[in-house]
Each structure stands twice: as C-alpha cells, then as structure tokens.
Chain A
C-alpha cells in the first residue's frame, strides 16, 4: 500500500512540475510585455528604454525562460512565490487574502452539491421511469446546460432584486459577522454547486441503475431483505465508486466555476484575482494561482484513488 502511495505521489509531483512549467513557459513566451503594460498605465509615464530595461532586470524577465522557471521553483520551495508587478505586494499576500475566501465558498458548494446530488440520484434510480425520475433528470439537465454566470444573475434577480430576501452581492468573513456572511454566501454557493450537483445526480443515477440489475442484488432480494437494506447495503455500496470519482472531479469544476461566480457576486476570492491578474498580465499571481489550483486538484485525485482501496476490496494491493 505504501509503495502504491509513493508511486502516486511521485506521479503527482511530475504532473505538478509539468503544469507549472507549461503555464510558466506559455506566459513568458507569448507576446505581451507586462512591464510595458504596467509602465503605460496611469501610475507611470516613463518610456525611457533604460528604465524599461532596468525594471525588466529587476523582475528577472531578461533571463532565459528555463532559468526563470528554476528561480521561481527555488523560490516556491522556500515559500516565496514572487511579487506582483502591478500591485507591488507579494504574491503570498494576495493569495493569503484570496484563497481562504474561495476555500470557504468552495467547500460549502461542494458539500451542498454532494449532499443533495447523490440522494437525488439514488432516488431517481430506484424510482426509474416515474415522474420523480423524469423531474430529477430534467433538473439535472438544466444544471448541466445553464451557464453558471447566468444562473447567478437569475438568482440575483429573483431572490435579491425581486423578492429581496437575500443580499445581491458582496462578501463578509464568517469571523467578522457570521449571519451576514451566511446570507451573502447562500446565492453564490448554490450557484456554484449547481454544476457538480447535476453531475453527481446523473452519475449516481446511472451507477445505481447498473448495480440494481446485478446478480448479487437479486441474491439480496432472495434472502428476504427489505428494500432499504438492499439499497443501502448492496446497491449503494457497490455503485458509489464512480460517484466518488466524480466527486473528485467536482473540485476542478468548483474552482473553475468560482472564477465566474466570484465575478458575478463580487467576491474577493481566487477566481476574481485570477481574472484581474490575467488582464493586467501579472504573471506572478497567475503562476501562484495555477500552483495552488494544481495542488488542490492533485490532492483531490489522490484522495479519490486512496478511497478506492477502502471502498472496493478487489482493488486493495496486498
């Protein structure tokens, strides 16, 4: 088991390396000089060549790309993610401000999506073909086809503007004002949860349907078990595997969706930070966000893989 774990960790590190290097390389290689952009913005009006060259050197942008990457990697291992060109702050500061917000929003969304999606999927499977199943399928379809940012806007329109039940924008830390924080979180969290929820529902439903016709379920019925026992102990336990895989894939879905949801609801999280940084061509911040995202996704995948061993005895390596 530990051998398997080490191997997976090794693979994960390689992937992490490739990701960060690819993004790093692409950003440096493509046209668009951040220094020029920064300098031609309102805060500076220097067009002196020497000044430009000096700033480029200061930020290490005149070295060859692999060298720049190594510098950055060294920095990362020491906990230094670089400086933001446009804001003058360190990337660490920016991330420290933004990441917890997205984490808060993301975790709540994740919980909502799985807690509602999986039971709905099970229900749809055991009541297949009835109006319950059809309704659930329609809802799931809507969740997959609706654009996240648009759903957010609709939610704002209905619950915020028309009904006035919930605030339409903004973010408060739960430590500052818990009730206000929750109120502001409800709409964005549901909006963000919709996609993974729909996915979980559909995946659970099809996984359960596949299991329900297996021989061992028939054996369970033949033993005289009640429906609840058959479903919980035999159907769900076997069908849960693809659902867990999908839950792992919900993590990148949520991070990606956060980019849009934070923009719509004006939440100062990682997503919004990424958008602003991209427009300003602030490489360091983008690099930092990519790093954090990649780590999060890799950890999620690792956890999913590990859970296979726990859930499916056939997979367990001796």
Chain B
C-alpha cells in the first residue's frame, strides 16, 4: 500500500485581537491507498482546521497556514497558489471534502441536480446532458429514491441525511483519490448516522479511494476506521491502528476518552469518568504538555520539561507522552 497523502508538520494559526492562536501546531499524518483514517479529538483541537488547510480552504483573514508540507501525487499542495488552477484541479477532482452541516452546505437557490452537474463539469469534460445523466446516476448511487424527479428539487426539500448523501455524491462525483469527511454525521440523528457512515465506507471502497474521517465520536471511529490519530490542542498525541489504540491506549487523554464513553458490558451502577477541566486556551501556550492541567497521571518530568515529540512504541503505534501508559497494565480497557 503506497502512501497517498503525506502531511508533515502542518501549522495553522488564526490572528485574533487577543493574539495568535495556533490551531494546528505541527500535525503530521499519512494516508495510504484504500485506507480509512480517523482524526479524533474534542472541539477546538484543530482537527477540522488541519483538513481545511490540506485543501487550502482556510479563510485568509484571520487564519493562515504558517508552515508544513502536504505531499500528494508528487507535489506539495501548499506550494500551489491558493486559488490557482493547480489547487482548483485538486479540490473536488483529486481530493474532495464534505462538511458537518449538510443542510447549510448546499446552495439553497440551486437545484440539487444543478449543483451535482456543476461539480461534475468542473473536473470532467462532459456535455450538459451527459452531466445531467451523471447527476441522476449519482443520486441513485447514494440511495436516493426516485432520483430522476429528486434531481430537480431544492436542498430545503431534502432531509438532513439525504443532504449528506448528496454531499457524498458530489464529493465522489469525479473519482477523487481522497475523500475528507469533516464531522459528517455530527448533525444527523443516530440511525441516519449509521446509514451514512456505511454508505461512505462502501462507496469509498467501490471507488477505490481513501477516506479521512474527522470526528469527536469514538463510536464512529471504532467500526470503520483502520488507523486513528488522536489530537489535542493542535497536535497529534497518539497514533496507531484502531485495535491497538482501543486495546492499549498509551496517552492519558486517549485513556480518558475511552473511559468516558458508556459501555454496554459495564456493570450496572458503574460511574462515567469524564475528563476534568476544559480544553486549553490556545493563545500563549506554555512549552509544557498541553494536557498537563487535566492529566491524572502526570509525573514530575511532565512539569519540568517541554512537551515531548511523537515517539514510536512499536507496531505503528506512537505516542507523545512521558508517562506512556502501556507499561502499567492495571486498567482493563477492552
């Protein structure tokens, strides 16, 4: 499996009246062919910002990409002009992205068909009627009932789940190599969530593409994702195969995340253990570990020395922590 997307040391900052916020502070990850990768973390940890940066969709004031490389198909995407022809060819054509709020992510005054056709005609040279047929086909592909009539409807006539399917159709319409899904199911109800996720997975497999799912929901990740990157305060704090992460979490934050999710096989009366405290203020971060204020496992070294680099602990699993939980096997996680 060759590497499709290689993001190295990505940095994104936002200028606010109170100072510069480092939303993404040296994030690196890879995506292989036919792989599904998950980016997990709380709100504000920089996962969405990092994906927007890959597509150079960061809103220029107040944000800016401050550093890093995004290697894809032999070039560094960040060297392309933000709205230049090369970047535009990549967007939607080679890497597609779908967003969190499907209802507001579609243009309310254009028919769904028109928006699908637009996506198709931007990257594939099709005639108007060919594009129209393709639009219907795409709707059918994502499971829209009676696509021929629905194609002339407007987004407000679709439900949330169906809108997201349209978005998926739009994203995959030009056979991209990578589909990035930014919190694709957060705005949907639980049953629809499961359907949409399965649809995404199936289609991505069918098209032979790779998928990046950004989410704060561990349940989403557990089922479909091959590898997980756990993010906190703009950095990756743990990375590895899904099974490894769930079975042997090494970072206290990951552990906290796992323990705060209710489980079906827990004994009755067991308490949920949340992670105390609030996410950090990303302005003027101290050099020490960002999780330190909330960490129950902190050792002396954590307080004295700056946040460590990501270190491998074997088997594709790496962690950014001095404590490195793996050694102590006193917790039953799985």
Residues of A within 8 A of B (CB): 129, 213-216, 218-227, 229, 233-234, 237-238, 311-314
Residues of B within 8 A of A312 (CB): 108-109
Chain A residues within an 8 Å CB radius of B90: 224
Asked if A222 contacts B107 (CB within 8 A), the reply is no
Shortest A67–chain B CB gap in Å is 52
B61 interface contact, C-beta 8 A: yes
The 9 closest A-B pairs by CB, nearest first: A224-B91, A224-B92, A223-B92, A215-B104, A224-B88, A216-B107, A215-B105, A313-B154, A222-B97
Residue of A nearest to B104 (CB): A215
User: Which residues of B are found within 8 Å of A311, using beta-carbon distances?
Assistant: 109
A residues within 8 A CB of B96? 222-223
Selected interface stretch from B69-77, B118-126, B308-316: B118-126
Closest to B170 in A: A223
Bound-state Cα–Cα, A313 to B93, Å: 29
Q: Does B247 contact A (CB under 8 A)?
A: no
Set of chain A residues within 8 Å of B212, measured between Cβ atoms: none
Set of chain B residues within 8 Å of A213, measured between Cβ atoms = 59
Closest to A313 in B: B154
Interface size on B, residues (CB 8 A): 31
Inter-chain pairs besides A214-B104, A222-B55, A314-B154, 5 sampled, C-beta below 8 Å:
A213-B59, A227-B83, A234-B110, A238-B107, A312-B108
Which residues on A sit within 8 Å (CB–CB) of B199?
A: none
B88/A219 in contact, CB under 8 A:
no
Query: Whole-angstrom distance between the alpha carbons of A314 and B87 in the complex?
Result: 34
Whole-angstrom CA separation of A238 from B170 in the bound complex: 20
Residue of A nearest to B90 (CB): A224
Cβ contact within 8 Å between A222 and B118: no
Q: Are B57 and A218 in contact (CB under 8 A)?
A: yes
B residues adjacent to A (C-beta < 8 A): 55, 57, 59, 61, 83, 87-93, 96-97, 99, 101, 104-110, 118-119, 122-123, 154, 156, 167, 170
Nearest neighbor of B114 in chain A, beta-carbon distance: A233
Task: Tell me, in angstroms, the Cα distance from A314 to B104 when the chains sit together.
Answer: 13
Interface secondary structure of B, over-half rule: loop
Bound CA span A165–B106, Å: 52
Tell me which residues across on chain A come within 8 A of B119, comparing CB atoms. 223
A220 pairs with B107, CB closer than 8 A: yes
Expressed in whole angstroms, the Cα–Cα distance for A288 and B123 within the complex equals 61
Contact A237 B109 (CB under 8 A): yes
| Nearest CB in chain A: distance from B14 CB, A | 14
Docked Cα-Cα span, A314 to B156, in Å, equals 7
Q: What residue of chain A has the Cβ atom nearest to residue B155's Cβ?
A: A216
| Chain A nearest Cβ from B287, distance in angstroms | 34
Bound complex: CA of A237 vs CA of B92, how far in Å? 22
Q: Is the CB of A218 within 8 A of B92?
A: no
Q: Are A313 and B57 in contact (CB under 8 A)?
A: no
Identify 6 residue pairs between A and B in the complex whose beta-carbon atoms are under 8 Å apart, listed by A's number: A214-B104, A215-B104, A219-B105, A229-B118, A233-B110, A311-B109
Q: How far is the CB of B155 from chain A (nearest CB, A)?
A: 8
Q: Which residues of A lie under 8 Å from residue B93 when comparing CB positions?
A: 224
Q: Do A216 and B91 touch (CB < 8 A)?
A: no
**Closest chain B residue, CB of each to CB of A312:** B109
User: What are the residues of chain B within 8 A of A238 when measuring CB–CB?
Assistant: 107-109
Point out the residue from A218, A233, A313, A314 that lies within 8 Å of B118, measured CB to CB: A233
**Complex Cα distance A129/B61, Å?**
10
Q: Is the CB of A218 within 8 A of B99?
A: yes
B108 contacts which of A218, A233, A313 (Cβ < 8 Å)?
A313
B198 to chain A, nearest CB (A): 23
Q: Which B residues are in CB contact (< 8 Å) with A216?
A: 104-108
- B53 CB to nearest A CB, Å: 13
CA A314 – CA B155 in complex, angstroms? Answer: 9
Q: A215-B99, A218-B99, A233-B110 are in contact. Are A223 and B91 (CB under 8 A)?
A: yes
Closest to A226 in B: B88
Q: CA of A218 to CA of B180 in the docked complex: distance in angstroms? A: 14
Cβ contact within 8 Å between B110 and A225: no
Is B89 a contact of A224 with CB atoms below 8 Å?
yes
Smallest distance from the beta carbon of B228 to chain A beta carbons, Å?
Answer: 24
Min Cβ gap B108→A in Å is 6
Bound-state Cα–Cα, A255 to B154, Å = 39
- Which A residues lie within 8 Å of B91 (CB)? 221-224
Query: Which of these, B57, B61, B88, contacts A225 with CB under 8 Å?
Result: B88
State how many angstroms separate the Cβ of B126 from the closest Cβ of chain A: 15
Q: How far is the CB of B46 from chain A (nearest CB, A)?
A: 18
Nearest CB of chain B from residue A232's CB, rounded to whole Å: 12
- CB nearest neighbor in A for B120: A223
Contact between chains at A218 and B105 (CB < 8 Å):
yes
A237 and B154 CA atoms in complex are apart in Å by 14
On chain B, the residues within 8 Å of A233 by CB distance are 107, 110, 118
Bound Cα distance from A234 to B170, whole angstroms = 16
A226 to B170, CA, bound (A): 17
Give complex CA distance A220, B109 in Å: 13
Contacts of B122 in A (CB 8 A): 223-225, 229
Enumerate chain A residues within 8 angstroms of B88, measured Cβ to Cβ: 224-226
